[in-house]
Structure 1
Amino acid sequence: MDWDVPSPFLLSVCPQAADIDGLNHTNNAVYVQWCERIAWAHSEALGLSLADYRSLDRAMAIQRATYDYLLPTLLGEPLRLATWLGAADGRLSMQRHFQLRRERDGVCVMRGQWNLVCIELSSGRARRMPAEFMVRYLPAIQQRTA
């Protein structure tokens, strides 16, 4: 498939009966859930789990989320969801991007972006990224080619 970056992190997804809304297509909220699932899987693949966040008392929290729903998806339709890290300031913020494509023809059906900010879990306040975040996340940043 032709992704917006050379090597995104990928997850196969397929709408199930519970994912389908009254318009007979995948409910948009399901896409948001899939994005959360792939974001955690990617973070864990980079070496940072929820347990690590808790032990470091830091997390990358969503400050803003945007989704462009381009085309509907249907029950049982095989899909590929991609994610990658985008711009980061190396202190407080970074972006995570998403792209969802149909497997049968590669057409992009959704794009999304999260603006993330590093917070201290115990206070909820913005705090500088710990060294563990910078070592794991910053080398994984990719720039869009499309």
Structure 2
Amino acid sequence: MTFSYPITATAADIDELGHVNNAVWVKWIQDIAVAHWNHVATPEQRAAMIWVVTRHEIDYRGNVAAGETVTAETWVSDPPQGARFDRHVKFTGADGKVKVQAVTTWALIDRATGRLMRVRPELAAPFLT
């Protein structure tokens, strides 16, 4: 399942080079991943489990200035491996060009124990494309 929404860069997102700062892109990657989880997970799942990032691989392909909007899109293409799975993210500008593309690895944590949890097939199913 692909999940997406628009993001408009604000003045606070812009660095000294006049475009969205790399740290902001990382925040947006986390924001869309969390929004996707909140969209598909039940209240009980959200209360019992939390995801954490273990790795980011990001390709910066273009710049975005204040006031410009990108479409953030995320999906999971492969089944999880144990407690982890890779999430794909891309941000496409109004010009149709991909500005940033990433693959991030997320791990599932049991909120009560703080320990890694195996991602069960029924939990992964709503994410898989």
Fold shared per TM-score above 0.5? yes
Instruction: Give the superposition deviation at 1:113.
Output: 1.3
Distance change (3 Å), C-alpha of 1:47 and 1:119: closer
Measure, in 2, the Cα distance between the counterparts of 1:119 and 1:140.
Answer: 17
Gaps of 5+ in 2: none
Per the TM alignment, residue 89 of structure 1 is displaced from its structure 2 partner at its CA by 3.1
TM-score of the two chains, using structure 1 as the length reference: 0.77
* Structure 1 segment 83-102 matched on structure 2, within 5 A: 83-89=74-80, 91-102=82-93
Could you tell me how far apart the structure 2 residues matched to 1:34 and 1:89 are?
Answer: 22
Sequence identity of aligned pairs in percent?
26
Q: Distance in 2 between matches of 1:61 and 1:32?
A: 13
1:114–1:48 distance in 2 versus 1, CA, 3 Å: farther
**Which of 30, 34, 56 matches 1:36?**
30
Q: Following superposition, which runs of at least 4 residues in structure 1 exceed 6 angstroms of deviation?
A: none
How far off its partner does 1:12 sit?
Answer: 0.3
Aligned residues: 129
Q: Decide whether the 8 Å contact of 1:48 with 1:136 is kept in 2.
A: no
Deviation at 1:48, TM superposition (A): 4.1
* CA apart distance, 1:46: 1.0
Please give the per-residue CA displacement for 1:50-69, whole angstroms capped at 9, x wherever unaligned: x7333x2x322211112111
Kept in 2: contact 1:85–1:141 (CA 8 A):
yes
Question: CA contact under 8 A between 1:101 and 1:109: conserved in structure 2?
Answer: yes
CA contact under 8 A between 1:26 and 1:72: conserved in structure 2?
yes
